[in-house]
């Protein structure tokens, strides 16, 4: 791939237009959203979208989310064959925001976006710069997270630069992402709406609007070899730092004991604030023990800090709770760990 000169666009009205012009002419721009930074291209231009896969090193069978700046954009751009009632209800409750809905696609969606599926994932982000860039470009934007495939998702413009400098046309700096991990993905193309990826909009919140909601088996469990993922992105080892992440299933005091027994310069703890005074290894804290929203916000940044340290080879973390936003933290951490869990309760 030929190296590009990646522009770093500060948050000005002029730079909203610069980003929009690049997108309109088929280029790639890293854009802020409230969840994580996205690597955007014009969703209706298949060859522009194909460049996203090359820049990220992303497998072509993993479909992308299409971002819009108004619920009516779905109709205006003709993105789906039919808007289900469930989509209208969820949009009213949670859009703009960290929720992606999968619906039956229309023919306008290029194969590069849907990866050959008959559905398309759509999200209306709440970040003001994301909305401004989409409106100025006046096209829907296909955008996966703006990290190299497999590494932790970027939550600042600098994270995007670290991964994508020379690979994309520009990055727009909209500050640190407020949620810090990717949107909840729900499919409305199944008989019963089903969560394919947990995020800031919790299963309880979705149930409060829709009644019945299922959680896909791949959210919390490893797929068996050869088993087909409803969401292709769920089958890959993901979000992983270079260090080896190991999850411990145990009581709080057992976690401290185990980590301290394995203390060494190459070992770190991905832990809670309350653990810090007791740990004999370098702590990387996700926040307070029961504050799942802070833990979600801090997770990817801490995973990147662990890599930056350069010397950490093993990271011990607790198996998180699956309550509320905890389910999203669990889903990302278990993938970062390649599903490696040590069950101290059984030992």
Binding site for ligand TXA (CB under 6 A): 33, 35-36, 38, 62-65, 100, 102, 114, 117, 119-121, 123, 143-145, 182-183, 185, 196-197, 231-234
With respect to ligand TXA, which residue has the nearer C-beta, 114 or 285? 114
Q: How far is the CB of 258 from ligand TXA (least distance, A)?
A: 32
Is the CB of 15 or the CB of 100 nearer to Mg ion?
100
Minimum distance from CB of 243 to ligand TXA (Å)?
21
Shortest approach of ligand TXA to residue 130 CB, angstroms? 8
64 touches, from ligand TXA, Mg ion, none (C-beta below 5 to 8 Å by class):
ligand TXA
If the CB atoms of residues 52 and 312 are measured against ligand TXA, the closer one turns out to be 52
**114 contact choice in Mg ion, ligand TXA, none (CB below 5 to 8 Å, kind-dependent):** ligand TXA
* Contact between 151 and Mg ion per CB under 5 A: no
- Considering CB distances under 5 to 8 angstroms, the limit depending on partner class, which of Mg ion, ligand TXA, none binds residue 56? none
For Mg ion, the nearest residue by Cβ is 145
Smallest separation (angstroms) from Mg ion to the CB of 314: 24
CA distance 252 to 289: 10
Nearer CB in complex with ligand TXA: 125/283: 125
Q: Is 202 among the residues that bind Mg ion (CB under 5 A)? A: no
Nearer to ligand TXA, 64 or 247 (CB): 64
Of the candidates 103, 69, 107, the residue with the CA atom closest to the CA atom of residue 88: 103
Using CB under 5 A as the binding rule, whether residue 145 contacts Mg ion is answered as yes
Which span (39-47, 143-151, 251-259, 265-273) binds Mg ion, by CB under 5 A? 143-151
- Among 96-104, 139-147, 241-249, 296-304, which window interacts with Mg ion (CB under 5 A)? 139-147
Give the Cα separation of 264 and 252 in Å (integer): 20
Take residue 255 and report the two structure tokens written for it.
């976690």
**Choice between 59 and 166, CB closer to ligand TXA:** 59
Q: Shortest distance, CB of residue 229 to ligand TXA, whole angstroms?
A: 8
Nearest residue (CB) to ligand TXA, 144 versus 283: 144
Beta bridge partners of 234: none
- The item of Mg ion, ligand TXA, none sharing an interface with residue 196, based on CB under 5 to 8 Å by kind, is ligand TXA
Shorter beta-carbon distance to ligand TXA: residue 43 or 234: 234
Whether 133 contacts 139, CB under 8 Å: no
And the tokens for 335?
């993938």
33 binds Mg ion (CB under 5 A): no
Residue 43 interaction partner, one of Mg ion, ligand TXA, none, beta carbon < 5-8 Å per kind: none
Q: Write a three-state SS string for the chain.
A: CCCCCCEEECCCHHHHHHHHHHHHCCCCEEECCCCCCEEEEECCCHHHHHHHHHHHCCCCCCCCEEECCCCCHHHHCCCECCCCHHHHHHHHHHCCCCEEEEEEECCCCCHHHHCCCCEEEEECCCCHHHHHHHHHHCCCEECCECCCCCCCCCCCHHHHHHHHCCCCCEEECCCCCCCCCCCEEEECCCCCCEEEECCCCCHHHHHHHHCCCEECHHHCCCCCCCCCCCCHHHHCCCCCCCCEEEEEECCHHHHHHHHHHCCCCCEEEEECHHHHHHCCCEEEECCCCCCHHHHHHHHHHHHHHHHHHCCCCEEEEECCCCCCCHHHHHHHHHHHCCCCEEEHHHC
Name the residues that contact Mg ion, by CB under 5 A.
Answer: 145
């Amino acid at each position: 791939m030929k190296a590009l000169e990646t522009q770093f666009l500060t948050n000005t009205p002029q730079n909203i237009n610069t980003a929009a012009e690049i997108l309109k002419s088929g280029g790639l721009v890293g854009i802020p959203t409230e969840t994580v930074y996205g690597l955007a291209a014009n969703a209706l231009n298949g060859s522009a979208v194909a460049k996203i896969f090359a820049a990220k090193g992303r497998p072509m069978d993993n479909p992308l989310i299409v971002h819009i700046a108004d619920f009516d954009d779905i109709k205006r751009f003709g993105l789906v064959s039919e808007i289900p009632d469930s989509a209208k209800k969820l949009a009213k409750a949670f859009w703009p925001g960290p929720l992606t809905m999968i619906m039956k696609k229309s023919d306008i969606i290029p194969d590069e976006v849907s990866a050959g599926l008959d559905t398309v994932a759509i999200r209306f982000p709440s970040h003001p710069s994301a909305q401004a860039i989409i409106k100025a470009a006046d096209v829907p934007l296909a955008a996966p997270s703006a990290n190299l495939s497999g590494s932790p998702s970027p939550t600042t413009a600098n994270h995007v630069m670290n991964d994508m400098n020379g690979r994309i046309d520009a990055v727009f700096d909209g500050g640190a992402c407020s949620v810090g991990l990717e949107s909840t993905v729900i499919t409305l193309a199944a008989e019963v709406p089903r969560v394919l990826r947990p995020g800031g909009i919790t299963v309880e919140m979705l149930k409060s609007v829709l009644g019945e909601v299922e959680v896909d088996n791949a959210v919390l469990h490893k797929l068996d070899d050869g088993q087909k993922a409803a969401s292709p992105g769920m089958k890959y080892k993901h979000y992983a730092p270079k260090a080896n992440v190991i999850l411990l299933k145990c009581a709080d005091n057992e976690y401290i004991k185990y980590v301290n027994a394995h203390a060494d310069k190459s070992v770190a703890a991905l832990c809670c604030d309350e653990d810090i005074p007791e740990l004999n290894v370098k702590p990387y804290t996700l926040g307070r023990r029961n504050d799942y929203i802070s833990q979600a916000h801090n997770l990817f940044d801490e995973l990147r800090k662990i890599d930056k340290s350069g010397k950490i080879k093993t990271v011990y973390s607790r198996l998180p709770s699956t309550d509320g936003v905890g389910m999203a933290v669990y889903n990302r951490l278990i993938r970062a760990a390649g599903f490696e869990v040590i069950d101290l309760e059984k030992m």
